[in-house]
Structure 1
Amino acid sequence: MIAFVAILLFSVWFLLLRPRRGGKNAPPTVVHSPVVPFPIIGVLAEFFKSPNTMIKRCYEAYGPVFTIPICHRRLTYLIGPEAQEVFFKASDDVLSQQEVYDFMRPVFGPNIVYDASKKNRQVQFQTMANGLRASRLKSYVPKIEEETRQYLKSYWNKDSGEVDLLTALSELTILTASRCLHGDDVRTHIFKDVQELYHDLDHGLTPLTVFWSTAPTAAHKKRDAARLEMVRLFSKVIAERREFPERSDGTDILSLFMEIKYKDGTPITDEEVTGMLIALLFAGQHTSCITSTWTTLLLANKPELVDRVLEEQKKVLGADWKNKKLEFDDVQNMEFLNNSTREALRLCPTFIMLLRRAECDVNIKVQGKEYTIPKNDFVCVSPTVSMRLKSTFTNPDEFDPDRFAEPREEHKKVPYSYLGFGGGLHSCMGQNFGLMQVKTILSIIFREYEIEQVADKLPECGYDDMVVGPKGDTRIRYKKRV
């Protein structure tokens, strides 16, 4: 009864007494929901039931700009290329990332990425970007191929069999990422420990974390313990590398992070090195394993597209296409596989929302209407909704890799149509590594095996989860190619 009265009073205050923000040009506020008849309460219930479904409904009801109040937060959504332009072009002084991703601090640790000062953050980002340049990517392709073939030999070791594709590619993604990011010594000696600790860090990120990152839950307790243990393990690796530098070939990103010095001359700490490694692994792990899973399932669902993948492999790799060791340029030349991967990421993006906080009132004009987004609103775009708009992509619910190829190139017709890797000032710096990683793995799998989905239909997108992955049966049957 007390809770009901509190909710009722909050609703009355919100609707009648609270000062209107944004003036006459404020975006329309979503107050009612078909899920529950009570104002505001229904909005909360609908949002937490399925934010993606709600965002899509509100776009159809209110247009490309609208605000959803969630507890003490106001989430203002910008849907569609025209509305999204300000989101991707604005500087951090206008739309800031730092405050909205504060909930990641317990995962990464202090002074990492958006918890760092602006000057130190710039150094961290620049070092990450240097570690993902093409010159380094060239050295990663052989490592990814070696890890992939070893994994397939160990776990797909029969002429035919059945595996859960999502599980397999999740394991393979972290194996290959660890080899490239952490180095051979970590991969050889402590990978199992790192994998288990990463699991606890990953599962410590829940919907509650976004609103209360330090809540005393079992998942948060395991997350905090895992981060401390990760720091201990990598501190030991760093100390050994400094004593015996010959043990590393210097191509992994850990080697690069160890040498960071901030602009005031302060050297990076072991804890910060570990935090950057965790941040980089988090940034790519989900996207790569989920995208490679979707790409495989979507291609396998259309045998004629698998035939085109194989034709391209023969064209790029030559007569010995089945056994040829991959090189960076080979992977770069796999245009159809590249377009298939990008199309899978368009159709099934990993995240429902990208967030910023308005540091001042932000004026925008969309479809001839002017809006003022009030200061302190959380400003959001939704890749899952925006990349399925009929006004942007032809038959947006269809898997069609050729939409990225000449002469169509639908993603280039209007800026900020394609959000597979974000866009603008904060586009994903790891996108080249991620595409290279996925294409290398899938090139080997499709050359080695015939793939068939076990279920009679594709899984659905898991829009209820923090990270959007396949929801349903992801098992496949594999058969060794003769």
Structure 2
Amino acid sequence: MLEALQANALAVAGSLLAAILVALLIFRKSDPKDAPPKVYTGLPFIGNVQCFVKGPLQMIQMFYEKHGAVFTTPMFGKNITFLIGPEAQAPFFKHKDEVLSQNEVYGFMKPVFGPGIVYDAEPARRSEQMKAMANGLRVSRLQAYVPKIEKEVREFTKAWGDSGEFDIMEVLSDLTILTASRCLHGDDVRENLHHQVAQLYHDLDQGITPVSFFLPNAPIPQHFKRNAARKEMCRLFGEVIRARRKAGPEANAKNTDILQIFMDLKYKDGGAPTNDEVTGMLIALLFAGQHTSSISSTWTLAFAMLNPDIMKRLEEEQAQVVGDADAPVTWEHLGNMELMHNCMREALRMFPPLIMLMRYARQDFAVTSKGTEYTVPKGSLVFTSPAVAMRIPEVFKDPDTFDPDRYAPPREEHKAPYAYLGFGAGMHQCMGQQFGFLQVKTLVSILLRNFEFELIEKKMPELNYESMVVGPKGNIMVRYKRRAAAAK
């Protein structure tokens, strides 16, 4: 009886799938004659999906090598057009939201950020929110963040002792969220609520899975924890916001954190964000930087440990620019750390945390590659892949080699338009990149001047494609030893 029911269920499911596929074929809009070529691998409809899930970068690289910089691959009932390389990528980064929109493809973040925040906001309201975020990341505020970050790093490393071992990704993730909390959330949150906020952030982060992209409200355990975490985050920050408002403007004038900026935000229509919306903007800003900073600092140090000559040069640069282990880092110092800056750039080139960027085509638009012009039709999902594009040999010489000197004169390989995508490009370039460089360079500077590091396993780990933001898979165990000067 059970076998019969299972057979019937499979038959019904098969019939429904067949009907859906037929409907897609019959009713889909015909593509323009000059549309990008459609490419497939394996079985129709499911072959591309299987290949993509197994190894997204390998699939994109394979299609790029076979079919060129512009191609469309049907997946999940949608046409996904990839634009790879500086020339083909240009329209992706040049067009405004009226042509290539972010809202439709990043809508799965609504349960994390909340309604009316960033990708769920109307364009005008979203622009005002982004301006408020940019205001919190202007130079005068960034300068004030340097000593805050230094204080956190030095306090954190006091308990390490003279030697030991740890997972560097875990340690740098902790340091990233501690320093971000101090700068973005404020002293009251960092001192009183950090541990709760850090755990809630972890639950929010784990609630973004590949399933979330297609079914953001699917009844899965990760989504249940995500929803509970956001509710509790709003409650905790609501208490902080109410306490600050009660204290009054004079007491809040000393607050240099971005929480205060969001609290003081007034929209052009006279309205102001609710406490939940203030919390949502804080979550959005933390999401934008947490992974990039923790992952890029991990790769930067790992590559340096695998390249002793580069590590030696980094240590020499720190001695020349900053001084001994106890010397405080200043804003001016950070601007003179050219090699460290280029090492971080190179780490982001080789292993960008966002391996794909996405848009939705609200209109037809043209794209050119090697003299051939294509029309990408309205309704397409449009992707570019920094992870593939920044490994093109014609753009970056010996792309699989960690070479921070490629950014220094006279080479400056990153200066070709839309070649380097470590922080995106064009009008939607990451506004937090200055904070990201500041945060990573400050904490790495303190670590290098106080400790010697050695990778226990002398190789780079594999990438973890199970996460929406791609970092190392498994542990990266490091052996450390406190320097003699630092011990004194």
Please give the range of the TM-score, normalised by the shorter of the 2 chains.
Answer: over 0.9
The question of 1:175 aligning with 2:184 is answered: no
Give yes or no for contact 2:349–2:422 (8 Å, CA) kept in 1: yes
Q: Deviations over 1:187-238 (max 9, x none)?
A: 0001111011101100110111000111111111111111111111111101
Given candidates 31, 34, 40, the residue that maps to 1:31 is 40
Report the alpha carbon displacement of residue 8 of structure 1 after superposing the two structures with TM. Answer: 5.2
Q: Which structure 2 residue ranges, 5 or more long, are not aligned?
A: 1-9
Report the alpha carbon displacement of residue 11 of structure 1 after superposing the two structures with TM. Answer: 5.4
1:293 matched to which residue of 2?
298
Supply the AA of the counterpart residue of 2:479. R
Matches within 5 A, 1:120-269: 120-154=125-159, 156=160, 158-245=161-248, 246=251, 249-269=254-274
Supply the AA of the counterpart residue of 2:133. M
Give yes or no for contact 2:32–2:375 (8 Å, CA) kept in 1: yes
TM-score norm. by structure 1 comes to 0.95
Q: Which structure 1 residue ranges, 5 or more long, are not aligned?
A: none
Within 1, Cα distance between the matches of 2:197 and 2:28?
50
Report the alpha carbon displacement of residue 22 of structure 1 after superposing the two structures with TM. Answer: 2.6
Given candidates 110, 118, 134, the residue that maps to 1:113 is 118
Q: Deviations over 1:244-291 (max 9, x none)?
A: 253673111001110011111112110110000000000000000000
Secondary structure of the corresponding residue to residue 481 of structure 2: strand
Q: Which moves more between the two structures, 363-372 or 87-96?
A: 363-372
Within 2, Cα distance between the matches of 1:481 and 1:430?
33
Within 1, Cα distance between the matches of 2:389 and 2:181?
33
Distance change (3 Å), C-alpha of 1:468 and 1:379? same
The question of 1:372 aligning with 2:375 is answered: yes
* CA RMSD after TM alignment: 1.5
Secondary structure of the corresponding residue to residue 25 of structure 1: coil
Give yes or no for contact 1:241–1:248 (8 Å, CA) kept in 2: no
Supply the AA of the counterpart residue of 1:456. K
Q: Deviations over 1:1-30 (max 9, x none)?
A: 42445555655666x645563321111112
Q: Deviations over 1:138-172 (max 9, x none)?
A: 00000000000111112x2x211000000000011
Supply the AA of the counterpart residue of 2:410. P
2:338 matched to which residue of 1?
335
Report the alpha carbon displacement of residue 465 of structure 1 after superposing the two structures with TM. Answer: 3.0
Give yes or no for contact 1:49–1:464 (8 Å, CA) kept in 2: no
Distance change (3 Å), C-alpha of 1:53 and 1:9? farther
Q: Which moves more between the two structures, 269-278 or 44-53?
A: 44-53
Given candidates 451, 455, 458, the residue that maps to 1:456 is 458
Given candidates 354, 358, 362, the residue that maps to 1:355 is 358
The question of 1:384 aligning with 2:393 is answered: no
Report the alpha carbon displacement of residue 72 of structure 1 after superposing the two structures with TM. Answer: 2.3
Given candidates 62, 67, 71, the residue that maps to 1:66 is 71
Give yes or no for contact 2:80–2:380 (8 Å, CA) kept in 1: yes
Give yes or no for contact 1:357–1:377 (8 Å, CA) kept in 2: yes
Give yes or no for contact 2:176–2:290 (8 Å, CA) kept in 1: yes
Supply the AA of the counterpart residue of 1:21. S
Report the alpha carbon displacement of residue 40 of structure 1 after superposing the two structures with TM. Answer: 1.5
The question of 1:101 aligning with 2:103 is answered: no
Report the alpha carbon displacement of residue 370 of structure 1 after superposing the two structures with TM. Answer: 1.4
Secondary structure of the corresponding residue to residue 469 of structure 2: coil
Give yes or no for contact 1:258–1:273 (8 Å, CA) kept in 2: yes
Secondary structure of the corresponding residue to residue 331 of structure 1: helix
Secondary structure of the corresponding residue to residue 140 of structure 1: helix
Give yes or no for contact 2:210–2:466 (8 Å, CA) kept in 1: no
TM-score norm. by structure 2 comes to 0.94
Q: Deviations over 1:80-139 (max 9, x none)?
A: 000000000011111111111111000000110111112211110001001001110000
The question of 1:437 aligning with 2:439 is answered: yes
Distance change (3 Å), C-alpha of 1:75 and 1:179? same
Aligned residues: 472
2:86 matched to which residue of 1?
81
Give yes or no for contact 1:332–1:436 (8 Å, CA) kept in 2: no
Within 1, Cα distance between the matches of 2:26 and 2:270?
53
What percentage of residue pairs aligned between the two structures are identical? 53
Give yes or no for contact 1:300–1:452 (8 Å, CA) kept in 2: yes
Q: Deviations over 1:348-371 (max 9, x none)?
A: 000121011111111122111111
Report the alpha carbon displacement of residue 313 of structure 1 after superposing the two structures with TM. Answer: 1.0
Secondary structure of the corresponding residue to residue 436 of structure 1: helix
Within 2, Cα distance between the matches of 1:101 and 1:193?
27
Within 1, Cα distance between the matches of 2:14 and 2:82?
29
Within 1, Cα distance between the matches of 2:481 and 2:471?
25
Report the alpha carbon displacement of residue 463 of structure 1 after superposing the two structures with TM. Answer: 3.4
Given candidates 275, 292, 306, the residue that maps to 2:280 is 275
Distance change (3 Å), C-alpha of 1:6 and 1:268? closer
2:3 matched to which residue of 1?
none
Supply the AA of the counterpart residue of 1:274. T
1:345 matched to which residue of 2?
348
